[in-house]
Amino acid sequence: MIELSPRLSRIKLSPSTMAAQRVRELKAAGRDIIGLTIGEPDFDTPAHVKQAVIDAMNRNETKYPPIDGIPSLKQAVQRKFTRENGLDFALDQIMVGTGSKQILFNTFQATVSAGDEVIIPAPYWISYLDMTLVADGTPVVVNCGIESGFKITPNQLESAITKKTKWLLINSPGNPSGAIYSRSELQALAEVLRRHPQVWVLSDDIYEHLRFDGVEFCTMAQVAPDLADRTLTVNGVSKAYAMTGFRLGYAAGPKALIGAMIKMQSQSTAGVNSLSQWAAVAALEGPQEFLADRAAAFQERRDRLLELLNNVPGMTCDRPQGAFYLFPRCEGLLGRRTPSGKTLESEQDLVLYLMDEGGVAVVQGEAYGLSPHLRISIASSLENVVEAGRRISSAVAALR
Ligand SMILES: Cc1ncc(COP(=O)(O)O)c(C=O)c1O
């Protein structure tokens, strides 16, 4: 076996991907499991997007694309930012990557050096941590519990900043909490950032279109235009347009930063799959009305599952304002005994119990930096989500 780089030992495989794999194995073995582990819309990719791929193929759009993105897509992204966010970017301030995941990876590889600190409010999307570590950076995790609505406060931000702070990561609507930062909350964070010119802010807006109850969406570049020269706005088509497999994300920010990220990408994947780029043009330039219908479907699932979970003694569930996860606190279930006499010592025990005895697969909060919680994805049919809620209730009712 070849000797592996020490870099590799700093990172891990995604717990939700591993849980999803376990669900597939159990289902293949004939078990009745409802898998609510994955962050992927269950809807189909829209028909006009599929057609755009066929058309692009027939036009022979199959050659190496430009590293930063085909002009038509960069223009579509430019128009998206103007239309939806009131943000004006020049084309050399925009780039396209293989998923917003690669955009984030490029960002950290291009900007983070040993000793640089990255402020990550917890709960967080796990990859922020691993990507910081693989770039030799130091994650500074700030605990943002249910009491503060899972959001970092200006005081917490002020105390977390040091001379070495490079980035603050904001993810709104957030995975796994579903929390959304209001305009005034972002303004208050911007006020802190103004006192610390060394700190850059990365806004991961991938769940922008998945919002409930008419809550407004704001992004840092919009509310604090004076911070534009140190703000990176990241988004993509995966979640809104049910296009996870196309692997297409994009970013806009200062020209020099985007240039550095393009340089980094030029030595990894280079340009994004040409057909995915044409698909994304169709998604961003095509009809947008269905986005609200899909968000409404997620909202109904949220409401139905919340109703069931809030009647489960020992669980407390905040009402997520967006994204497609519920993140109940489950402290009251730890220490209880299962019908077979096993004490639930940890979140992990609870997750295994719900999977083995309840027939529902969810992910432990620890994977997202905040315990004891469970992340329950509602990116599954209403029927599945409701049945999962019932199964969780009965499994908990059987505890002693
Ligand atoms: C918060 C957040 N950001 C980014 C991503 C990456 O999305 P993609 O690479 O599909 O654009 C995800 C996916 O789960 C996510 O939850």
DSSP three-state, residue 171: strand
Q: What distance in angstroms lies between residue 178's CA and the mean position of ligand 1's atoms?
A: 13
Nearest-CA residue for atom 13 of ligand 1: 39
Question: Quick check: 19 pLDDT over 90?
Answer: no
Closest C-alpha to 375, from 127, 179, 176, 173: 176
Is the four-CA dihedral 48, 53, 54, 60 of positive or negative sign? positive
Q: What distance in angstroms lies between residue 101's CA and the mean position of ligand 1's atoms?
A: 6
Q: How far apart are alpha carbons 211 and 362 in whole angstroms?
A: 22
Question: Quick check: 15 pLDDT over 80?
Answer: no
Question: Quick check: 97 pLDDT over 90?
Answer: yes
Closest C-alpha to 397, from 357, 362, 364, 363: 357
- Report phi then psi at 120, rounded to 5: -125, 105
Ligand 1 atom closest to Cα of 238? 10
For 307, the token pair is 């109703």
DSSP three-state, residue 184: helix
User: Which residue has better confidence, 118 or 23?
Assistant: 118
- Beta-carbon neighbour count of residue 26 at 10 Å? 17
- For the chain, strand residue ranges (E) read 34-35, 94-97, 117-122, 138-143, 165-171, 200-204, 231-236, 249-252, 325-326, 360-361, 363-364, 374-377
Q: Strands 231-236 and 249-252: what pairing?
A: antiparallel
CB 221 within 8 A of CB 203: yes
Q: What is the CA radius of gyration of the chain?
A: 21
For 110, the token pair is 């291009």
Rounded to a whole number of angstroms, the distance between the first and last alpha carbons of the chain is 49
Going by pLDDT thresholds of 50, 70 and 90, the confidence category of residue 146 is confident
Residues with CB under 6 A from ligand 1: 39, 99-101, 125, 171, 175, 204, 206, 236, 238, 244, 249
CB 35 within 8 A of CB 380: yes
Report the chain's mean pLDDT, rounded to a whole number.
96
Q: What distance in angstroms lies between residue 179's CA and the mean position of ligand 1's atoms?
A: 16
CB 318 within 8 A of CB 180: no
Percent of the chain with pLDDT over 90: 92
Going by pLDDT thresholds of 50, 70 and 90, the confidence category of residue 21 is confident
Question: Quick check: 212 pLDDT over 80?
Answer: yes
**What pLDDT is recorded for position 270?**
96
pLDDT per residue as tens digits for the range 292-319? 999 999 999 999 999 999 999 999 999 9
Q: How far apart are alpha carbons 187 and 388 in whole angstroms?
A: 39
Question: Quick check: 285 pLDDT over 90?
Answer: yes
**What pLDDT is recorded for position 20?**
81
Q: What distance in angstroms lies between residue 336's CA and the mean position of ligand 1's atoms?
A: 35
Q: What distance in angstroms lies between residue 206's CA and the mean position of ligand 1's atoms?
A: 6
